[in-house]
Structure formats: structure tokens, C-alpha cells
Amino acid sequence: MPRLIDTLPALYRDLLPSFFRQDVPEETKATCSHCAMCKENAQGAVDAVDGVSRFFRPDTKCCTYAPRLPNYLVGALLSDERPELAEGRRRMEEKLASRIGVTPQWVRPPAKFHFLYKNGHQFFGRAASLRCPYFAVETGGCTIWPYREAVCSTFFCKYVAGADGRKFYMSMKTYLTLAEIQLSRWAAFQLLPDYVLSGKDRAETQTVPLSVEDLDDIAPPAKAYAELWKEYAGREAEYFRACYRLVRELPPDGLEKLLGLDGTIELKTLEKLHGTAVSPKLPRTLKFNPDATVQWMQDGSVALGAYSDYDALALPGEAYGLLVEFTGREPVDAVRHHLREHKQADLSEDVLLELYRHRILVEA
């Protein structure tokens, strides 16, 4: 199994606490290079929910999302001269030249993107207009992958640990997001202290109407932009590289100090969820989830989904009839004994555990 640290940008290897050196199951169900959610590759995907297709477009996959990149990861990308990252660097340089969404703390998507993302419906994986600006349509890959941010590092369309895996990675996203916020604020404070002291690092929490510039994808007014960047106006790439060097040179306990109590709490939560995801235990009593989706297939099997629209379990049709015996009124062992005695059938503990992880069966 890979170590958790090996699934993240290399910059974090000397920054994150020892917990991240633990093994984590490889997410073999989320096959990014051969997208499991594209129709021609999909296995175990619910075809449609409420009449809306759940398959992804091959020219978007799950990349209908624009990342918010912290200053130090932008600098790391710009400092990496490997040929395979040339296109990613070119796109980032183009983004910096546009000045749209470029701040001393982040290179983030335009405000219009956020509005569309928050107010869209059933678009994920299917709206080309929301495709990530760093997505390579020709290859179906990411041009900045080694320097991806928290969301892109922790999202999987399917999890080998089912609902427990999703909880774990969502918790990891929270921890990494906190790290991104604090590291980017700290780096900005070292180079442009007024940006932080004036509260501009918190500006994105304030909801404001879209401006003409936002709607028409126009750079912010030159005067406002120059005031934001001060002596680094026109030298943004240099600034971002300096942020990268500062973060890279932090001592081993540097991140822990920046995260403080919030980081301690999030790390403890992450450790707890890791145990559940890696070493699951079958509850004493189980019942069939009344909210599970049921889709009968042409071959007589049944696809069952619950914790995610993107992940379903396929069972033989006759096995589905056994699930209703799990009502939560009797222990699992007693239900299995009843099935063997009266129906000459059984569901093994491994099958029950998988059904529980997918929340087809839930704790009573």
C-alpha cells in the first residue's frame, strides 16, 4: 500500500506530521487515466438518478472544477523546469498575465466561475464550460498534477472503503485546506505584510455582487491591482517563487505551529477516521437502507447505491431478496443463521462488510 504522504504534492513531505507516513489503501476504483465514470469504462455506476445521467464526459471527466492554488504551490510549479510540466507552466504564466484571480495569497478562479459552480445543477463531470483551466483535453490529464491543491488531492469518484473512505478523505481535505490557508497567509506576511495586516487575506469570505469586470472576464482596474501587489506588481512570478522558497525552508515543526489548536483537532479527527477506513468493523445489527437506490440490470443482477451517486455495488438478483431480512431487530449472526436454515442461502461477512461500507446496509 502507498503511504498517505506519497499521494500528495512532494512539497509536503517534510512539512506534514508523522501520521501522513502511514499506509493507505490505493484507490483502485477511481481510475483517473481510464476514467471509471465515462460510459465506455463505467463499472458499478448507477446510470441515472431521477432521470439525469451520472456518466461523465470524456473531455471533462471530474475536472469540472477550477482549483484555488496557494501562492507557494504556484511558486513550486513555476520553479519546476521539468519538460513534462512545460504546458502547466505556460498556462500558469498566461493566468498571471491576465491578472484575473491573481492575489498575493492565491491564484484562484474568476468570481464568475464560483457563481456558476454554486448555482449550477447536475453539471459535475458534464459541463465543458466549467472545465478546469489546467485540464489537458487531448490527453485527459492534468498539466499541473504535482502541484494540485487540497480538493484535487482528496477527491475520488469511488472509494475502496466506501462511505468510510469518503469521510476520511473529506477530513483530509479539511486539514490540507487549513494548511493551505495558513501557509499562504504566512508566506504573504513575510513578503507583503500589509496584505495580511489590512485583512485582504480574508476578503474572499465576504460575498459581494459580481462586477462588470467579473462578468466580462476583464482584469481588475490597474490602480487597484497595483495597490494590492505594491512593489511586486509586474513581478508576480518572482513573488510566487519566493513564497515557495519560504515554505520549503520551514523547520519540521513549522506547519504545526502555524495550524495551532485547529490543526491539532483536525489531525485527531483524521487519525480516528483513518482507523475506520483501514480496519472496518461490522456492526452487531444491520438493516437495509430504505434510501438506497435500486437498479435492475438486463442480466438479472441489481446495482445498489447509497453513499454516492457515482459508486454502486452489483449483486446477483437473488441476493437482493436476502437483504430485506436485515431489519435491525436481530443481530447479524442471527439473521445469517435464519437465512441458512430457512432459505438455504447466506451472505458472507466480507459481502456484508462491503454492503455496510457502501451503506446499502446501515447500523440499526
DSSP per-residue codes, 113-182: HHHHHHH--S-TTT-GGG--TTEETTTTEETTGGG--HHHHH--SS-TTHHHHHHHHHHHHHHHHHHHHH
312 phi/psi in degrees, rounded to 5: -135, 155
Q: Name the average pLDDT for the chain.
A: 93
Global pTM? Answer: 0.93
Helices (H), the chain: 71-79, 86-98, 111-119, 150-154, 162-191, 193-197, 212-215, 222-229, 236-248, 254-278, 317-323, 332-342, 349-357
Rounded Cα–Cα distance for residues 308 and 157 (Å): 8
- Beta carbons within 8 Å of 328's beta carbon, 6+ residues apart: 285, 286, 287, 364
- Beta carbons within 8 Å of 8's beta carbon, 6+ residues apart: 16, 20, 153, 176
Residue numbers of the chain with a pLDDT score lower than 70: 42-53, 203-206
- CA dist list (Å): 163 to 158, 309, 362: 9, 12, 11
Instruction: Specify which residues 3 forms β-bridges with.
Output: 23
Q: What is the pLDDT of residue 350?
A: 95
Q: Which three cell numbers stand for residue 194?
A: 500589509
Rounded Cα–Cα distance for residues 223 and 100 (Å): 14
Query: CA 338: distance to chain centroid?
Result: 42
360 phi/psi in degrees, rounded to 5: -70, -45
Rounded Cα–Cα distance for residues 256 and 17 (Å): 8
Of the candidates 68, 46, 63, the one whose C-alpha atom is nearest the C-alpha of residue 55 is 46
- Beta carbons within 8 Å of 359's beta carbon, 6+ residues apart: 162, 163, 289, 292, 306, 307
Handedness of CA 23, 28, 31, 34 (dihedral sign): positive
- Beta carbons within 8 Å of 197's beta carbon, 6+ residues apart: 189
**Which domains are seen in the chain, by residue range?**
4-278 (no CATH), 285-363 (3.90.930)
Classified as helix, coil or strand, 327 is strand
